[in-house]
């Protein structure tokens, strides 16, 4: 399982450049890295100077680094058929057709909002877009191709809305089911219970998935969250609030980057500005407590392209050091620090190979092992991943041991 590094903060403070610089540094150190952006403005593509799509794309000039930009509209469009099916056709001819005016009391206003022809997207779950983004992110974290997934998040409010999503689902589903019961008519009398049960089942599956993602995000053995800000009152205040909210939800905030700090120059205007900024930084240090912010000076040119991002990585992480070959843990970076693992390490001998998988936050009962047509499959909480082997294999011939956070597989070579 890949280590997840999240970079978040208010818009326009340099999240994208920090996440891109970090991804490049990790790949330069020898790790397999996926850089993910949820920004519909394609700022990650602009920062790297190349076009990314919705699938992992190799970044030319950085061996081991792949990037992708999520497509929010496509994610929602893919999710709608399941939701629509669960609702048994809320649109034309469905039990919600002609809903307006059919519900009385406090439901009348809500029913009128729905209108006479309701599409599934008209009743879109609040936070669904964030949930689908994090669900896609989890699939990449579980992908054995990556040692690290670096996520350039949307502004922090979107992340916080996702963390509150299980409670939102409960409130939203109750409201929706009340609307279904209020829709009236013979079709609701005949099919209402079936539709309600289907809706409840679909929402419960979705809620369980959200809770699982939230557990991953709050596990410090898997996730590290770095806040990015600028030394201005609004930026610092929002960063302090974000830190408190993320800590409240259990997300491990482990670092902070303060971008665009005015350098020390002998000029009255710049000296006044720097003095004010240093006061803001001291306020931030006192509020964060557990760690000291990393200050990045205002550059004399825009940080753009691989060279500019590598220069920023030098400021964030210090001198480049190659990552050792073992599974880890491997410390990396100063002043910005991460503890990293390789997700998959294979050692071959004459008649067998030893495969190590880093699987943090799991117990033995969370894992399963089987083979299918010579392919070795490891299951994690019911989600199976193909583990590449030199030759076809039967699970009955594999010796498996789970120690700490590492699954050791000894596989015979035929």
d(CA 344, CA 367): 16
CA dihedral in degrees (342, 348, 349, 351; nearest 10)? 130
pLDDT tens readout for residues 311-325: 999 999 999 999 999
pLDDT tens readout for residues 140-182: 998 999 999 999 987 777 777 777 776 676 666 666 666 655 6
Same domain, 148 and 211: yes
**Which stretches does DSSP call E strand in 203-316?**
223-229, 253-261, 294-297
- The upper half-sphere exposure of residue 284, i.e. CA atoms within 13 Å in the direction of its Cβ, equals 31
Q: Look at residue 81 and tell me if it is in a domain.
A: yes
Q: Look at residue 275 and tell me if it is in a domain.
A: no
Burial of 214 (0-12, 13-18, 19+ CB in 10 A): buried
Domain CATH for 352: 2.60.40.790
Q: Look at residue 288 and tell me if it is in a domain.
A: no
Is the pLDDT at 377 greater than 80? The verdict is yes
Q: Look at residue 369 and tell me if it is in a domain.
A: yes
Instruction: Tell me the residue range of the domain where 305 lies.
Output: 1-217+299-332
| The pairing of beta strand 294-297 with beta strand 148-152 | unpaired
Same domain, 206 and 60: yes
**Number of domains the chain contains:** 2
29, 321 contact by CB (below 8 A): yes
Q: Look at residue 110 and tell me if it is in a domain.
A: yes
d(CA 234, CA 242): 12
Q: Look at residue 279 and tell me if it is in a domain.
A: no
Any residues with CB less than 8 A from the CB of 1 and at least 6 apart, and which? Answer: 141, 142, 222, 343, 357, 358, 359, 360, 380
Same domain, 152 and 96: yes
Same domain, 157 and 190: yes
Same domain, 126 and 76: yes
Q: Look at residue 277 and tell me if it is in a domain.
A: no
pTM of the model: 0.83
**Mean pLDDT, rounded, of the chain:** 82
Helix 156-163 / helix 233-248 crossing angle, nearest 10 deg: 20
pLDDT tens readout for residues 65-92: 999 998 766 666 666 555 555 444 444 4
């Amino acid at each position: 399982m890949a280590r997840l590094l999240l970079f978040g903060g208010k818009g326009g403070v340099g999240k994208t450049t920090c996440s891109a610089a970090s991804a490049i540094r990790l790949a330069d150190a020898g790790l397999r890295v996926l850089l993910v952006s949820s920004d519909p403005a394609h700022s990650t593509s602009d920062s790297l100077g190349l076009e990314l799509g919705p699938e992992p794309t190799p970044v030319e000039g950085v061996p081991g680094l792949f990037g992708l930009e999520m497509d929010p509209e496509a994610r929602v469009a893919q999710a709608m058929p399941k939701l629509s099916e669960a609702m048994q056709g809320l649109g034309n001819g469905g039990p919600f057709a002609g809903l307006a005016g059919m519900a009385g009391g406090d439901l009348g206003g809500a029913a009128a909002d729905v209108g006479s022809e309701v599409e599934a997207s008209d009743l879109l779950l609040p936070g669904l877009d964030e949930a689908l983004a994090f669900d896609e992110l989890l699939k990449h974290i579980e992908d054995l191709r990556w040692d690290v997934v670096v996520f350039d998040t949307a502004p922090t409010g979107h992340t916080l809305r996702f963390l509150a999503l299980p409670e939102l689902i409960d409130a939203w589903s109750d409201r929706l089911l009340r609307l279904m019961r209020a829709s009236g008519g013979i079709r609701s009398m005949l099919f209402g219970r079936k539709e309600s049960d289907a809706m409840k089942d679909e929402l419960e599956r979705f809620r369980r998935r959200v809770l699982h993602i939230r557990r991953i995000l709050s596990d410090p053995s898997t996730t590290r969250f770095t806040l990015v800000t600028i030394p201005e009152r609004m930026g610092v205040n929002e960063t302090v609030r974000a830190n408190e909210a993320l800590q409240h939800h259990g997300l491990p905030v482990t670092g902070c980057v303060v971008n665009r700090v005015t350098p020390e120059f002998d000029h009255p205007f710049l000296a006044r500005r720097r003095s004010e900024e240093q006061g803001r930084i001291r306020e931030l240090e006192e509020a964060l407590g557990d760690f000291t912010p990393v200050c990045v000076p205002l550059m004399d040119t825009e940080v753009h392209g691989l060279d500019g991002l590598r220069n920023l990585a030098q400021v964030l992480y210090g001198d480049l050091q190659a990552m050792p070959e073992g599974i880890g843990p491997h410390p990396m970076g100063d002043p910005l620090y991460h503890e990293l693992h390789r997700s998959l390490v294979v050692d071959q001998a004459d008649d067998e190979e030893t495969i190590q998988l880093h699987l943090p936050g799991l117990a033995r009962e969370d894992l399963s092992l089987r083979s299918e047509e010579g392919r070795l499959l490891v299951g994690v909480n019911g989600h199976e991943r193909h583990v590449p082997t030199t030759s076809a294999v039967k699970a009955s011939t594999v010796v498996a041991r789970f120690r700490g956070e590492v699954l050791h597989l000894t596989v015979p070579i035929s």
